[in-house]
Amino acid sequence: MYSYTEFDEAFVRERVAQFRAQVERRIDGSLTEDEFKPLRLMNGLYLQLHAYMLRVAVPYGTLNSRQMNQLAYIAETWDKGYGHFTTRQNIQYNWPLLKDVPDMLDALADVGMHAIQTSGNTIRNVTADHFAGAAADEIEDPRPYAELLRQWSTDHPEFQFLPRKFKIAVTGAPNDRAVVKAHDIGLEIVKNDAGETGFRVLVGGGLGRTPMIGKVIRDFLPKDDLLPYCEAIVSVYNLLGRRDNKYKARIKITVHENGLDEFKAQVEDRFALLRGQFGGADQQLLAEIKAQFARPDLPARDLSGFTTAYDNDPVFRAWVDTNVAEHAVDGYALLTISLKAHGETPGDATAEQMREMAALAAEYSSDELRISHEQNVILPHVAKSDLPAIHARLQQHGLATANIGLISDIIACPGMDYCALATARSIPVAQQIATRFDELKMEHDIGPLKIKISGCINACGHHHVGHIGILGLDRAGVENYQITLGGDGTEDAAIGTRTGPGFAYDQIVPAIETLVETYLDERESPDETFLDTYKRVGMAPFKAALYPAEEKSRAA
């Protein structure tokens, strides 16, 4: 994986020094709060409900053990001993003091990490498939391109004050695990008829209050054109995007209001103007980056230990069945460590858990870890024969929950427990749903079901693309939760449909239970997933179950 060059290192140090001075200048009055706010945001620092929050980037979700250990150190030294992994491959610290933040950033720089452009109206942390470089279905590892985009977008002088935030995701596999269709720019590595690889470029996707699926702006972009083409898109957006209304400022609205054809025409014009700017230095750099992402050597291993454990230990078997995915190399596995223990906060890990995961990565996964947008941690190169030992270690640290892709593997934003923008809480709803279905011992029977919860219309919890989406709102001073069904965040991306009126805080868990019971009644076989059943039978039976009184009054 990528390690910082001297240039990267010097850049990040300089940036920390700048931020240290900015904090001092805010305190001495040189910078007003209005001026300081975008500067602190572009260094990852928010002011939330109870405290500041520092959001640290995990570029394309890839970490080594030294970096994970440092995240643990930061959590213990300047925070309350834990961190929260987010839906965009970041980690958030919820309790830093303003004066400590420059020191935290220096500690990150010590291990080649940063918090640059994790917020603000800039190009944010570039995300990628969390199985990149290991998945069996992959055309090419997307991370070298993500790293190239990171370098291009970092401190890009034209794009630090865009109309609104700008998110880019890259996938190298046809099975989209990076939700590229819900990004401002989505990049899919594809092969054309001539057998060359390039990018299908999507533009104008996004969730938030106006969810939109990204539109294809280029079917096939030669790989060498990546930077000038992205620069053309963002450059056109910077002038064309609305600045009068923050809810209409995202590129999805720009594309929608101007029409894809007009937008594309301007982009192609700008691309022609810009293409000559990139004369090959970027491709040379890319080649150097690629070399660092070469897959580690994964020697063949005897499988007997794995087979014995799998056949004899039902707990181990259940865990393998849910948490292990197919690796490109025989005898190896992609292991997802669940940060969704029943009743715990989705995405949170204590410093001790981070250290354990770091140790396991060093010992068993070629020193690599990944953070998924579903708020879990992945060991990407694990020999199957090591899985029993890893499982035993994870059990000792509350990390062996066998629920990946199941009903308790919930995405939840921080909601009103932390976020200043939230209109309702998300975390306790997730905790209660997970606890309830764990009590019922039903979740393995229910099978794949993605619940996603957002505590406000901005949709950080991706509720629009949850099979069951939950949106928390403030209705006349009381928390109220709307439900959507049928959303999908994969290559078949779809926005969920609202069931009807929302539910009070103490009614939302029973409502979810009702939906699940309805699914179990309706499904044709245990193999038919919740989403498949919903697609077959539609909204009607779910609606009838959720709102029985209304159905009766209509029938009467």
Site for another protein in 343-382 (CB under 8 A): 345
- Selected range binding another protein among 240-248, 319-327, 375-383, 463-471, rule: CB under 8 A: 240-248
Smallest distance, another protein to C-beta of residue 258, A: 14
Nearer to another protein, 152 or 319 (CB): 152
Nearer residue to another protein within complex by CB, 22 or 119: 22
**Can you state the percent helix, strand and coil of the chain, rounding each to 5?**
45, 20, 35
Separation of alpha carbons 115 and 104, rounded Å: 10
Q: Tell me the closest approach of the beta carbon of residue 375 to another protein, in angstroms.
A: 14
SS (H, E, C) 250-295: CHHHHHHHHCHHHHHHHHHHHHHHHHHHCCCHHHHHHHHHHHHCCC
Binders of another protein among residues 7 to 26 (CB under 8 A) are: 7, 10-11, 14-15, 18, 21-22, 25-26
The only residue of 70, 87, 151, 482 in contact with another protein, by rule CB under 8 A: 151
Nearer to another protein, 3 or 192 (CB): 3
Cα–Cα distances in angstroms (integers) from residue 400 to residues 154, 175, 336, 342, in the given order:
37, 26, 10, 11
DSSP state of 466: S
- Write out the binding residues for another protein, residues 78-97 only, by CB under 8 A: 80, 94-97
Helices then strands, each counted (H, E), the chain? 19, 21
Please provide the size of the chain in residues.
Answer: 556
Q: Does 3 engage in binding with another protein (CB under 8 A)?
A: no
Identified binder of another protein from the candidate list 137, 158, 257, 517, rule CB under 8 A? 158
* 6 interacts with another protein by CB under 8 A: no
Binding status of residue 244 toward another protein by CB under 8 A: yes
**Selection from 120, 184, 108, 123 nearest residue 155 by Cα:** 123
Please report whether residue 418 would count as binding another protein according to CB under 8 A. Answer: yes
38 or 398: CB nearest another protein: 38
Name the residue with tokens 């998110």: 167
Beta carbon nearer to another protein, 282 or 313: 282
Residue whose CB is less far from another protein, 157 or 314: 157
Distance CA 534, CA 466 (A): 12
Site for another protein in 94-113 (CB under 8 A): 94-99
Is 428 near another protein (CB under 8 A)? yes
- Give me 244's structure tokens: 């009068």
Distance CA 524, CA 503 (A): 29
Q: In the complex with another protein, which residue's Cβ is closer, 155 or 522?
A: 155
> Contact between 267 and another protein (CB under 8 A)?
no
Residues 464-493 that bind another protein (CB under 8 A): 474, 477-479
Residues whose CB is less than 8 angstroms from the CB of residue 507 and which lie 6 or more positions away in sequence, other chains included:
none
Q: Which of 370, 294, 382 is nearest to 331 (CA)?
A: 382
Helix (H/G/I), strand (E/B), else coil: 229 = helix
Q: Tell me which stretch binds another protein (CB under 8 A): 27-35, 57-65, 297-305, 364-372.
A: 27-35
Between 17 and 440, CB nearer to another protein: 17
Between CA 449 and CA 457, with CA 452 as vertex, the angle to 5 degrees is 150
Contacts of another protein in 43-72 (CB under 8 A) = 47-52
User: Does 152 participate in binding another protein (rule CB under 8 A)?
Assistant: yes
Smallest distance, Å, CB 428 to another protein? 5
Exposed, middle or buried, 306 (CB in 10 Å: 0-12/13-18/19+)?
Answer: buried
Among 93, 131, 145, 159, binds another protein (CB under 8 A): 159
Q: Which is nearer to another protein, 106 or 474 (CB)?
A: 474
Residues 6+ apart with CB under 8 A from 218: 199, 200, 201, 229
Residues binding another protein: number (CB under 8 A): 73
Q: Which is nearer to another protein, 272 or 318 (CB)?
A: 272
Site for another protein in 178-197 (CB under 8 A): none
Please pick, from the candidates 76, 103, 160, 216, the single residue that binds another protein as defined by CB under 8 A. Answer: 160
Cα 108 versus chain centre, distance:
20
Whole-number minimum distance, CB 294 to another protein, in Å? 22
DSSP string, 423-449: SS--HHHHHHHHHHHHHHT-HHHH-S-
| Neighbouring C-beta atoms of residue 445, cutoff 10 Å | 11
User: Which positions from 271 through 310 interact with another protein, judged by CB under 8 A?
Assistant: 273-274, 277-282, 285
